[in-house]
Structures are given as C-alpha cells and as structure tokens.
Amino acid sequence: MLLNPLTLHLPKTSLEAAKLFKELEDSKVLAGGTFLLNSMKLLKTKGTRTARNVLSLARVDELKGVSFDGDTLTIKAMTRINELFDSPLLGDKGHLNILHTVCRNISTNPIRNMATVGGNLTCRYTWTEMGAVMIALDAQMHFLGPDGKEDVMPAEDFFKNAARSEKLFTHVTIKAQKEAVAAYRRVKKTIHVDIPSLAICLKTEIKGKQWYNTRVGINNGLAFAQRDPALEAFLDKSVSSPDLGKQALEHLTTAIYDTRTTEYKQHMFRVSLRSAIEEICQK
Amino acid sequence: MSEVKLTVNKKEHILNLKGNETLLEVLRDHLSMTGTKTACQESECGTCTVMINGKAILSCITLAANVQDEVTTIEGLAKGDILHPVQQAFIEYGSVQCGFCIPGMIMSSVALLEKNPHPTQEEIEYVLDGNICRCAGYPKIFEAVIEAGKKMKKN
C-alpha cells in the first residue's frame, strides 16, 4: 500500500462536512487530491505518520460550480481548475477573464481536471497560485461553521493569517468591475517540476490613462500571498506610458522580492512585474 | 474493510477495500487490469491516466473508495476485436516505441477528441502535457491523434 491506513469520510452536504471538519481529530480535507495524496505518499516513504481521517468533499454537490448573478462571480470550493478555465462566465466580465489565464497556466491537464480552486487556496503551501490572484481581485472568502453560520473575510486577511481557518471553506466571491483590467505572470520553478517560483497578479481601473484602485497580489513562494503596498501606492498616482513598467521597479517593497531568494528570482520578479505593467498600459 | 462499489468499463465491481487504496492499485492488483501503468506514482508522468466522466484523471492520486462515477481504462476502449480509432491510429502511425506511456497517452487523447475531434497541434500538445514519453515519440503521437480525430469526427 502506498498510503498509511486511513478512514475516509464522505459527507453529502456542506453542513455535514463543516461539522466533520470541526469534530474530526487528526484529519485532512480531500478536495482534488493533487496535493494531499502526493504528500501523504511521500510522508509514508519517510516513515512519517499521516492523518488517520480523510474528509472527502467529492460528494458535496453544493460545493461545486461557478455562477454569476449580474454583479458577483461565485466560485465554489470544489470547482476544478479546468471547469473554471472552461467557464463561459469569465468571458466578458472585465478583469475576471484573468482567471482564464491563471487556470491555463496551472500544472498539467490531468492535474487541472482534478485540482480544485478551494484546494489551491487552502492547502497552506506558500507557492500556490490562486492566493495572489484572489488578493489582487479583492475576493471575499466564505467559510461555514458547524453551527451553519457563515464567516466572510477578504482573501488578503485569510493569507495574513497564514491561510488558517477553523471553518470549512465553501466558496469565493469576486465583484465584477467592467472598468477594471488585470495582468498575471507566473514563473515555473524548474522545467521538471511545475511548482511556481513566483506568481503575480495586478488589477487596476484606468480612466483616461490614470490608474486607480490598483491591487498587486504577490506570491513569492516563501511567504503566503500578500500585497505590495509600495508598488500599489506608486501605480495609483501614475499614468499609463511605455516607461511606467521600468519606473515602477524603483517603487517596490523590496523585502517581498529580495529576501531569502536568488539573484535569478529577483531578476524574474522584476521582469514579470515590468511585463505585467506594460501589458496593462496597452489595454 | 468496507464494501466499495466501483464501475469500470461499464462493469460493476463490489470490492472489500481498506480505504487507503489508490485507484491505480485497485485496477492493477484487485481487478488485474494492468493496462494502466505504474511509474512515478506522484502525478508527474501520466502513465496511470484513466478517464472518469470523460476527463483524463491520474489514478495514482485518486482514492478508489472516493470514486463515484464510472471509470474507463485502456482495456475498455476497444469493442471486442475492433480497436478504438485512437488505438488504431497509434498503430498505423508507428506511435508506439517502448509502449510504456501509450495507454496513458491514448486515454488523454480519447478524452481530448471526444470533446474536440479537430484539435490544433497546440491544443494537442497542451492537453497531452501531462503524459511524458521518454522515447520522445511525440511527433508520431501527435500525428496519430490528428488522424484519429478525423475518423472520430466522420463516425
């Protein structure tokens, strides 16, 4: 056997899942399984014990799907990456079609068929892509407690708390802003392993070339996803121009990009940020 | 141990499982369906690819007891002696060298062509990016996929 003995729990409703999430000791949540099962196998080969209880969300239909109510995009936790990629709802909603680009660049096709948006957000690996994206898009994350009560918090706050939650993550909501534009860049760690070395997402509104309400979501692979306040402050006073990308590099919160990292990665951050800003300037 | 119902290639199986078996282990060790291959065991190579609900899935990171929909393996593609168009095309185009990646390649290709029988080269490469061929037989594999798509579209 490649996995240690475990008990698989198969709730059928989100409330049942939320109760088990609270009650089960020594447990892990199974969404798509692309992170969890690999890590459990690896830990077993090292002789390390793994969770005795696995809470599968595969049968909770309430946690599946993408919807749009005219104002807000809702992505349920168990939506597969390829389902989001294929969703026609992303097409013409201003900046929301950046999610199409994000999904396209995640891992390989079979992984995209299995991996979920919820798993990518809550797995507590610092390098996963969706954190930076949801921060840039100012997404709200929704959690369900065993008492049936819902908590909502901005994605930014969730990641400031190291992606911890005592309640079950159910869905994310993002307001559509037709005036907003976004850009996304992702750099792979190596050609062999599709773990991102870095991911960045910029979202802004541009009126007459002036940037407004800019949000910059950064995933540096070392810390949980975060914003870059220095870069946001600079861009919000800026006007689109061919030089803006180059100028922006003088206004970074350098600790995000330069601490505990290689020269190559520092360089790639700057290349990626400049490229993303230049892309937005052309929109 | 608990009873798990698993439908593979349209046949229902009732299995006594401990719960920690991967789908790959169940297919090969419990059901003797060794067409689906074991290689990296960590979702990198694609040799364990099967189809669930028409989608290419990696059976090495799927818990068998967690599967509720029908599974299609390489053994389930042919109809008696009549090979699936993708299988036939792989033979005709000389796409098989050592053969180890081929079941996984075929499953991913079938999943693609059922959704889009007329993919571009770029779309084929994008969808097959999870299936590695160490013999580097990609050109003939892609040719076979294009040809199979034409046949499937005709049918």
pLDDT along chain B (155 residues), means of 10: 94 96 97 96 95 97 96 97 97 96 98 96 95 94 96 81
| Chain B: residue whose CA lies nearest to A59 | B68
A6–B21: do the CB atoms touch at under 8 Å? no
**CA nearest to A108, candidates A125, A124, A85:** A85
Residue A186, phi then psi, degrees to nearest 5: -140, 135
For residue A234 the two structure tokens come to 């600079």
What CA–CA distance (Å, rounded) separates B48 from B57?
8
Q: What does the DSSP 8-state code read for residue A156?
A: H
Find out whether B27 and B36 touch, Cβ atoms under 8 Å. yes
Find out whether A80 and A116 touch, Cβ atoms under 8 Å. yes
Ramachandran class of A138: left when φ > 0, alpha when ψ lies in -120 to 50, beta otherwise: left
Reported pTM: 0.95
Q: Which of B18, B25, B46 sits opposite A110 (nearest CB)?
A: B46
Residues of A in contact with B127 (CB under 8 A): 109
pLDDT for A1 beyond 90: no
DSSP SS3 for A195: coil
A113–B43: do the CB atoms touch at under 8 Å? no
A6–B68: do the CB atoms touch at under 8 Å? no
**CA nearest to B56, candidates B42, B74, B80:** B74
A8–B56: do the CB atoms touch at under 8 Å? no
What per-residue confidence (pLDDT) applies to A93? 63
pLDDT for A190 beyond 70: no
Helix axes B85-92, B102-115, angle to 10 degrees: 130
In degrees to the nearest 10, what's the CA dihedral of B84, B85, B91, B92?
150
Is A39's Cβ below 8 Å from some Cβ in B? no
Find out whether A199 and A159 touch, Cβ atoms under 8 Å. no
What per-residue confidence (pLDDT) applies to A173? 98
Find out whether A145 and A167 touch, Cβ atoms under 8 Å. yes
Q: What is the DSSP pairing of strand A53-56 with strand A27-30? A: parallel
**CA nearest to B91, candidates B148, B8, B154, B31:** B148
| Chain B: residue whose CA lies nearest to A115 | B57
| Chain A: residue whose CA lies nearest to B105 | A110
What per-residue confidence (pLDDT) applies to A91? 78
C-alpha distance from B31 to closest chain A C-alpha (Å): 15
CA A48, distance to chain mean position in Å, is: 28
Q: What is the DSSP pairing of strand B2-8 with strand A226-227? A: unpaired
- Environment class of A138 (CB within 10 Å of its CB; exposed 0-12, middle 13-18, buried 19+): middle
Q: Which of A6, A34, A113 sits opposite B55 (nearest CB)?
A: A113
Residues paired with A83 in a beta bridge: none
A with B: how many residue pairs have Cβ under 8 Å apart?
81
What CA–CA distance (Å, rounded) separates A162 from A80?
23
**CA nearest to A242, candidates A211, A200, A274:** A274
B18–A5: do the CB atoms touch at under 8 Å? yes
| Chain A: residue whose CA lies nearest to B38 | A2
| Chain B: residue whose CA lies nearest to A1 | B21
Confidence label for A197 from pLDDT (cuts 50, 70 and 90): confident
What per-residue confidence (pLDDT) applies to A272? 96
What per-residue confidence (pLDDT) applies to B140? 96
C-alpha distance from A115 to closest chain B C-alpha (Å): 10
Confidence label for A234 from pLDDT (cuts 50, 70 and 90): very high
B58–A110: do the CB atoms touch at under 8 Å? yes
**CA nearest to B89, candidates B73, B102, B71, B72:** B102
Residues of B in contact with A34 (CB under 8 A): 43, 58, 61
Find out whether B53 and B70 touch, Cβ atoms under 8 Å. yes
What per-residue confidence (pLDDT) applies to A193? 63
Residues of B in contact with A30 (CB under 8 A): 63, 66
For residue B106 the two structure tokens come to 């075929």
- Residue type present at position B119: P
pLDDT for A188 beyond 80: yes
Confidence label for A102 from pLDDT (cuts 50, 70 and 90): very high
pLDDT for A268 beyond 70: yes
What CA–CA distance (Å, rounded) separates A44 from A150?
36
Residues of A in contact with B108 (CB under 8 A): 109-110
Residue B22, phi then psi, degrees to nearest 5: -80, 160
